[in-house]
Amino acid sequence: MRKNKPLSGNNHKTVQSITPQISATCGSIKGKYPVVLDGGKTTIYIDDKSREAEIIERYNERRKR
């Protein structure tokens, strides 16, 4: 008689190999650019350096309200 294996066991090796890569990037600032806001009180990190001016402008608009 054959033992029935659960379906989730089929991809076990794939999940194990992907998990370290995902957890290494969560919360990481590697490859991101800092944007200093509010006179140095607030710093955020963005992927696209070209959007820095837009983000600063948006932040200042929100603070005025």
Residue 12's pLDDT is 57
Question: pLDDT of 10-58, one tens digit each?
Answer: 555 566 666 666 666 677 888 899 999 988 999 999 999 999 999 999 9
DSSP string, 37-53: EGGGTEEEEES-GGGHH
Q: Give domain limits for the chain.
A: 29-65
Residue 19's pLDDT is 63
